[in-house]
Amino acid sequence: MTAARYSSLGWHKSQHDHARKRLKQLLASVRSRDVETTTAMIAYLTSWLQNHMQVADMMMGAFLRNQCRIGKIIFSAGTKPIDGCRWKDSNGDPWTPSEPY
């Protein structure tokens, strides 16, 4: 997202940060085997994942698709951090942005 200069990166990251904070709050009660809190945590996480994927991730996907259409550039994300920022042009050849990202 950083390499693609996603303009809503801060907002997207805050969504994840808020979820981590909420789950951390619930985790202490879950560890003490509080059934109500465990149920609440599962409900929260289920709802958060559904909403996040339907809104935040869809917005990011649309942004990245538009970037590809406009610049004919494909961002290839690896599964390891070291592989995370490989850019290719529409022919699949390596491409380096003219400005640092």
Assign 1 to helix, strand or coil.
Answer: coil
pLDDT category, 31, cuts 50, 70, 90?
confident
Whether 26 has a pLDDT exceeding 90, the answer reads no
pLDDT at position 14, please?
93
Residue 76 structural domain: 11-89
Q: Which residue has the higher pLDDT, 54 or 72?
A: 54
Q: How far apart are CA 91 and CA 101, in angstroms?
A: 22
- Residue (of 63, 26, 64) closest to 48 by Cα position: 26
Domain count, the chain: 1
13 token code pair? 């990251």
- Residue 2 inside a domain? The answer is no
What is the pTM for the complete model shown?
Answer: 0.58
